[in-house]
Chain A
């Protein structure tokens, strides 16, 4: 009964390829996120969806395209992969609603290596 699950766990691919990462949460949360964690452990938000609506779109290359078919799913598609895209990508969810104390629940991460 994993709360936030993302696949695949590892992704090794060559420059120029296109790849996707999938995420699903069964917590009933209304908001989902993609975070990127670089080699220095810095977690940076990329996108956020609230009830399927994009609400946060940080300065991310347009090669990255998120899609949320419903509030329980958030996928990330990356076109024309570059070496600098190598990182761990975390999906997370939270129940925003009217509570400002809602923490993030993270998936196990997808380690992307671009060669």
Chain B
């Protein structure tokens, strides 16, 4: 079993729709959870982080965390073509001192 698993893509949604990206993790000692966006040929950039159970909203993005289910998700409302990218879920165990990434989900938003 992979340490961090993301829903297999690619994911395609029409412009204006909600895109839902999911991630599960195996390390119950994980403390922080990050979503990064990576455009083709570019480096990953942070979108959001979350560390408490529940929802965290930032503009069109909402991160959801359920530690009991070891599940974290990212919702993108009113999806735009500029949101087309690969989204990477990263899970951090501070004791281990490292962030472990999932395989990524490629999102395409069609105009």
Contacts and interface: CB of A to CB of B under 8 A. Distances in A.
A106 B98 contact: no
B96 to A, nearest CB: 8
For this complex, into which size category does the number of interface residues on chain A fall? Answer: 20 to 34
A48 interface: yes
Given A103-B49, A104-B46, A41 B38 contact: yes
Interface of B: prevailing SS: strand
A86 to B, nearest CB: 16
A104 B44 contact: yes
A96 to B, nearest CB: 7
Interface of A: 31, 33, 40-45, 48, 50, 55-56, 90, 96, 100-101, 103-109
Interface of B: 31-32, 34, 36, 38, 42-46, 49, 51, 86, 88, 90, 92, 94, 96-101, 103-104, 106
